Amino acid sequence: MSRRKPRSPVTIGLIALVVVLVLLFLGFTKDIPFTRPFEVNAVFQSANSIRVDSPVRIAGVEVGKVKEVKPEQGTDAAVVVLQIKDDGLPLHTDATAKIRPRIFLEGNFFVDLQPGTPEAPILKDGGTLKVTQTSTPVQLDQVLTSLQSDSRTDLKDLLDQLNIALNSKPTPAQDRSSDPSARGETAAKSFNDAYDDIPAAERSTAQVFEALLGTEPSRDLSRLIDGTARTTGALIRNENALRGLITNFNATMAAFAAQGQNLRASIRELPTTLGNADRALSSLNAAFPPTRAFAREILPGVRETPATIQAAFPWIAQARPLMGPKELGGLARQLSPATADLARVTDRAIKLLPQTNLASRCAIRVILPTGDVVIKDEFTTGVENYKEFFYTLVGLSGEGQNFDGNGMYVRFQPGGGTHTLSFGSQSADTGQLFGNNVAVPLGNRPFYPGHRSPYRPDATCYKQKRPELNGPAAAKSPQTGASATATRSALPQLRKLLRPFGSKAEGTR
């Protein structure tokens, strides 16, 4: 049998060191590792002497303890970390926590936890109860310190100033801004005068209070309390909205404070307004007797109304045939189609008449005055150009008389000459065309500028300037040497004008 080898002293020392560290950890932390309990952070306005390991109770049953108390960053509040056992779960998001004393006249404290309502969501591990969901008890020292010597001195000063305010005579400036009935009186005297109006005011107040009791006093109060509880709960759940409401209310009150002088002036005018309203109501009340008298006077006429209706029946009987199909009714039926057509014409005329108006303005302001202009050139006749237009029609009619079997058309006699003319580039079949003329062409009037004038359909006709028929734009195109360039430029336009006449016009080239 072999002898067992002894362990190394280093190994024995390490094992002993680990055991000691484990015991020290368990002794100081008093917690088993890897079994972290449920934790909740509760924010209190004051830790209020709460200590670590203070108990946490629900309905008097201890369900946990205080693990840690630490300050909240940036505020004077304190965060109390609560460890809750499984017996105290679940907690809901509307849970509340209160710090309460464990014995009378203070002593040790514990956290009284309310788990919340089942309708609210479940609070997760590490969740936080807001400061609006926590509260702390009032300490006896807080009650006693509220009556310190400085507070008593402030109270004495307050009473002294109240005495001065009640018994001091008003200044002339104060009298000017006060009601005439209170001028020259002290505040105490004005209060004494107000006592005369107290009985009537108390009666009105009693009526208001009686109305506030409701129709069912035994149930209205409970409903009011229940509604107030729901309202308060909604305000707690909507803390951000409440904070915004208070902020906006503060801004509104600040705006009122900034307009204090105007508000004071408005309130000062309120008695006058009420006096005017009282006089208006008095006038309205005074108008009721004449109205009642008018109602009494109209009663005989109302009583005669049935007889009047009865007397109207014969006239209605005679008027009914006149309104029948053989009389006015038939006429109306026959006129109905014409009326419908007239209505359509009237509807269409609403769109037609503005266009007709524009055309009339164009004719009066532009077309007709332009036609009255005498064109002064080498062929002038001394008459208005619109007459020359009709003279041209008469001449064409004479030239195109039908004295043979070829029909009505204007004949041109081509001839030769010593002046060669270019008719411009033609199609690929004919190529460049030339002709002869007896004399040098005189040119075109007005001359062709080489491009068409822009067409603007959006321009209003009657607002345009009249054309200058004898101006620079109406000048004759310049002549050239052996060939007439102006004639070449005018020939394409002439061909376009003669194209509708077919072969007869083509034979005149």
Top mean-pLDDT range of 238-247, 428-437, 496-505: 238-247
pLDDT for 15: 74
CB-facing half-sphere around the CA of 120: CA atoms within 13 A? 18
Is 80 exceeded by the pLDDT of residue 120? yes
How many residues are given for the chain? 509
Contact status, residue 63 vs residue 90, Cβ threshold 8 Å = no
| 454 vs 400, higher pLDDT | 454
Which runs of consecutive H residues, i.e. helices, occur in 182-259?
187-194, 198-212, 217-237, 239-258
Cβ contacts of residue 438 below 8 Å, gap of 6+? 415, 416, 417, 418, 419
Top mean-pLDDT range of 4-18, 214-228, 400-414, 455-469: 455-469
Is 50 exceeded by the pLDDT of residue 503? no
Top mean-pLDDT range of 202-216, 357-371, 398-412: 357-371
pLDDT for 141: 59
pLDDT for 488: 46
pTM of the complete model beyond 0.85: no
Is 60 exceeded by the pLDDT of residue 482? no
Which runs of consecutive H residues, i.e. helices, occur in 73-195?
140-145, 149-167, 172-177, 187-194
Kindly indicate the confidence band of residue 508, based on its pLDDT and cuts at 50, 70 and 90.
Answer: very low
Structure tokens at 213: 């009791």
Residue written as tokens 């005989």? 300
Query: Nearest CA to 38 among 18, 59, 56, 26?
Result: 56
Is 60 exceeded by the pLDDT of residue 76? yes
Lowest mean pLDDT among 296-300, 431-435, 477-481: 477-481
pLDDT for 171: 82
253-295: per-residue pLDDT in tens? Answer: 888 888 888 888 888 888 888 888 888 888 888 888 888 888 8
Share of the chain above pLDDT 90, in %: 11
pLDDT for 505: 34
Return the domain boundaries, the chain.
Answer: 30-138, 404-506
Rounded to the nearest integer, the mean pLDDT of the chain is 78
47-65: per-residue pLDDT in tens? Answer: 767 888 889 999 889 999 9
Q: What is the mean pLDDT of residues 14-30?
A: 69
129-169: per-residue pLDDT in tens? Answer: 998 899 887 665 555 565 566 667 777 888 888 888 778 88
Structure tokens at 367: 């077309």
Omega within 30 of 0 (cis) for the link into 289: no
pLDDT for 257: 83
CB-facing half-sphere around the CA of 100: CA atoms within 13 A? 16
365-421: per-residue pLDDT in tens? Answer: 999 999 899 988 888 888 998 998 898 888 877 777 776 666 677 766 666 778 777
Share of the chain above pLDDT 70, in %: 80
Structure tokens at 150: 């400085």
| 122 vs 270, higher pLDDT | 122
Kindly indicate the confidence band of residue 497, based on its pLDDT and cuts at 50, 70 and 90.
Answer: very low
Kindly indicate the confidence band of residue 360, based on its pLDDT and cuts at 50, 70 and 90.
Answer: very high
Alpha-carbon distance of 229 to 221, in angstroms, equals 12
Query: Nearest CA to 38 among 101, 84, 98?
Result: 84
Q: What is the mean pLDDT of residues 238-266?
A: 82
Lowest mean pLDDT among 12-26, 240-254, 297-311, 451-465: 12-26
The 8 Å CB, 24+ separation contacts for 104-111 are 105/140, 106/49, 106/139, 106/140, 108/51, 108/54, 109/48, 109/49, 109/50, 109/51, 109/54, 110/54, 110/55, 110/56, 110/57, 111/42, 111/50, 111/54, 111/55, 111/56, 111/57, 111/66, 111/80, 111/82
